[in-house]
Amino acid sequence: MLGERGADVTIFEKETFLGGRAGAWTETLEDGTSFEMERGFHAFFRQYYNLRALLRRIDPDLSMLAPVPDYPICGPHGSESFAGLSKTVPLNVAQLALRTETMRWRDLLRVNVRAAMAMLAYDQDEVYRRYDGMSAAGYLDSLRFPPRARRMLFDVFSHSFFNPEEEMSAAELLMMFHFYFTGNPEGLLFDLAKAPFSTALWQPLAKKLEADGVRINMGCPVDAVVRREDGYAACGENFDAVVLALSVEPLKALVANSPTLDDDGFRRQVATLELTRPFAVWRMWLETPVEPGRAPFVGTTGVGILDNISVYELFEDESADWAERAGGSVIELHAYSVPPEMDEAAIKNDLLRGLYALYPETETIAVREERFLLRRDCPAFAPGSWRDRPTVTTGHSDLMLAGDFIKLPIPSALMERAAASGFIAANQILAKRGVRSEPIWSVPRRGIVPPNLLSVPGKARRRSMQ
Ligand SMILES: Cc1cc2nc3c(=O)[nH]c(=O)nc-3n(C[C@H](O)[C@H](O)[C@H](O)COP(=O)(O)OP(=O)(O)OC[C@H]3O[C@@H](n4cnc5c(N)ncnc54)[C@H](O)[C@@H]3O)c2cc1C
């Protein structure tokens, strides 16, 4: 955006590949095939309006993405589907509640309707004021859903944000419900990248940036930023404005190492940021294919730490080529919020148990090759963290933050939050210079139920104890 509008822009990227946590780099299999390894499957939801506006710059029809026909949730006792649901709230919620086999009528009568209303009554100020101090687990308990229904309908939501329920803010979970389901006019389905992220997204985006005159310095970490009278200095160069689009730990390290960024409020906010638990991504090249009819992607629940299974040759060109040549399958298993005491061997055992339970044919298939990543760099959204969460603007003029952990005025998460925060940061810089800004898109900012109908967490319990 800045480059498009004539600004002289330089990007410093620590890694030798673009894309950060959604990046990809080249590796070689033992048979000599080179492939793009990623930090795992990513879903491109239809309400990622700002991310899509970014991607449309390189592919106006978004032909790099393909829709998934369904987003099933599989557990040991069956599966749940989000396909065919109305896009209208609350019709979609009612359809899901009525068609799920995990709830009977008498279960529905036990549900705490007032607490459940919070899923339809999103209002940023109210929801964070009332629910940020509560854990997502506490909120989900308060709904009184039967355990199986809770697992099938809610585990996937809470797990998808990498934070364990007990350590995640209920307000953040409610924002996610609104953003992904109850306030999402696009439906819960999503699209997938048809090619590795490097070839589908980052290489074309890099070309576009360079065409706009943007300099990209790869393998160039920025260790510190120095505030000057008339702007900032980093890596020996001077700049009028800076956007720090880093993940949590590098941002904390950079600020700690930049004493001239001396606004106390800003430093305190950055210092409050934390990481959540590690996640694991395990990609395997199998000798023979998985059963026909397997979905490209399934969310999983009730099978240990396994959170999802992807069958890559069903959607990604590079894996499809390999699978055809080798007559096998390329699958990927994810586990989020991995208990810190689990080592690689324990994680792999647990993931395999889950895979065999749901895709029994894989138990006898030999693994020709594998890549396993165990990383810890996703942001925590702990109860009570909203108040001090940093915003795009900081205590320093023309020093902006962007990333998936930044407090935004719109409901948004993950890649979309990263893209939207980047757009907002660029708009701030442009507005100050009287240059046309970029529209920021959002799902409706409020739910369909007035927020004054929200129950006050804890009140019902206190009353019953009197
Ligand atoms: C396994 C997994 C699955 C996921 N699935 C999904 C999904 O399905 N849908 C979804 O929307 N999101 C998903 N996400 C989340 C998504 O990847 C992130 O929300 C998003 O990529 C965050 O982008 P970001 O720009 O905030 O941060 P990052 O991508 O972390 O970007 C930060 C960049 O800063 C660079 N950097 C760090 N330090 C320095 C320094 N000192 N100097 C210069 N550069 C530096 C890094 O190399 C990186 O390129 C998933 C994440 C993981 C790990």
Are 159 and 307 within 8 A, CB to CB? yes
- pLDDT at position 298 over 50: yes
- pLDDT tens per residue, range 68-118: 988 888 888 788 777 777 778 777 777 777 777 776 777 777 888 888 889
DSSP notation for 42-71: --EETT-HHHHHHHHTT-TT-TTEEE-S--
> How many angstroms separate the alpha carbon of residue 108 from the centre of ligand 1?
39
Classified as helix, coil or strand, 12 is strand
Q: Is the pLDDT of residue 463 over 70?
A: no
Helices (H), 164-316: 170-177, 197, 203-211, 248-256, 264-272
Give the per-residue pLDDT at 385.
98
CA distance 210 to 101: 53
Q: Picking from 155-164, 418-427, 457-466, which range would have the lowest pLDDT averaged per residue?
A: 457-466
Give the CA distances from residue 433 to residues 241, 288, 399, 437, in Å, rounded to whole numbers and listed in that order.
11, 59, 14, 10
Sign of CA dihedral 116, 121, 122, 125: negative
Structure tokens at 317: 């060109």
Mean pLDDT of 439-443: 98
pLDDT at 146: 82
Residue ID of nearest Cα to ligand 1 atom 1: 40
Count CB-CB contacts under 10 A for residue 428.
17
245 lines ligand 1 (CB under 6 A): yes
For residue 247, how far is its CA from the centre of ligand 1 (angstroms)?
7
Q: Buried b vs exposed e over 122-153: b needs ≥16 C-beta within 10 Å?
A: bbbebbbebbbbbbbbbbbebbebbebbbbbb
CA neighbor of 269 nearest in space, from 177, 399, 165: 399
User: What separation in angstroms does the CA of 17 have from each of 216, 230, 313, 438?
Assistant: 11, 32, 23, 27
Question: What secondary structure does DSSP assign to 229-262, as a single string?
Answer: TTEEEETTEEES-EEE---HHHHHHHHHT-TT--
The predicted model gives 171-181 an average pLDDT of 94
Query: What's the count of helices (H) and strands (E) in the chain, helices before strands?
Result: 17, 19
Question: Per-residue b/e over 351-375, b at no fewer than 16 CB within 10 Å?
Answer: bbebbebbbeebeebeebbeeeebe
Q: Distance between CA 439 and CA 50 in Å, rounded?
A: 9
Would residue 40 count as lying in a domain? no
Which three-class secondary structure state does DSSP give residue 359? coil
DSSP 364: G
Is pLDDT above 80 for 372? yes
In a domain, 332, yes or no: no
The pLDDT, as a whole number, for residue 457 is: 58
* pLDDT > 70? residue 460: no
Nearest CA to ligand 1 atom 48: 20
Torsion of CA 456, 461, 463, 465, to 10 degrees: -160
Please tell me the distance between residue 40's alpha carbon and the centre of ligand 1 in angstroms: 11
Which band of pLDDT confidence, cut at 50, 70 and 90, is reported for residue 461? Answer: very low
**Does position 465 have pLDDT exceeding 70, yes or no?**
no
- Is 279 a pocket residue for ligand 1 (Cβ < 6 Å)? yes
Q: Say if 150 falls within a structural domain.
A: yes
Q: How far is the CA of 23 from the centre of ligand 1 (A)?
A: 8
> What are the tokens at 387?
């108040």
Enter the pTM of the model. Answer: 0.94
Check residue 266 and give its pLDDT: 98
**Is residue 215 pLDDT above 60, yes or no?**
yes
336 CA: nearest ligand 1 atom: 1
Higher pLDDT, 237 or 451: 237
Token digits of residue 36 = 């793009």
Is the distance from the beta carbon of residue 39 to the nearest atom of ligand 1 less than 6 Å?
A: yes
What pLDDT does residue 455 have? 59
Minimal CA–CA distance to 266: which of 396, 408, 379?
Answer: 396
Closest C-alpha to 88, from 183, 212, 177, 153 = 183
What is the arithmetic mean of pLDDT over 161-177? 93
Total domains, the chain = 1
Mutate to test the pocket of ligand 1, among 15, 184, 246 (most ligand atoms within 8 A of CB): 246
Can you give the pLDDT at residue 67? 94
In a domain, 348, yes or no: no
88: in domain:
yes
Instruction: Compute, in angstroms, the gap from residue 20 CA to the centroid of ligand 1.
Output: 4
* Poorest-pLDDT segment among 63-77, 222-236, 264-278, 399-413: 63-77
Q: Answer yes or no: is pLDDT of 399 > 90.
A: yes
Q: 454 falls in which pLDDT band (50, 70, 90)?
A: low
- Going from the Cα of 248 to the center of ligand 1, the distance in angstroms, rounded, reads 10
Q: What is the pLDDT of residue 466?
A: 28
Residue 269 main-chain phi, psi, to 5 deg: -60, -45
**403 or 72, which is more confident:** 403
Length of the chain counted residue by residue: 466
Mean pLDDT confidence for 11-23: 97
The answer to whether residue 184 is domain-embedded is yes
Is residue 228 in some structural domain?
A: no
Rounded to the nearest integer, the mean pLDDT of the chain is 92
The share of the chain scoring above pLDDT 70, in percent, equals: 96
List the CATH number of the domain containing 99: 1.10.405
Task: Decide: 418 in ligand 1 pocket, CB within 6 A.
Answer: yes
CA-based nearest residue to 217, from 21, 46, 9: 9
Segments forming the whole domain that contains residue 170? 84-188
pLDDT band at 462 (very low <50, low <70, confident <90, very high): very low
Q: Is 12 in the pocket of ligand 1 (CB under 6 A)?
A: yes
In a domain, 171, yes or no: yes
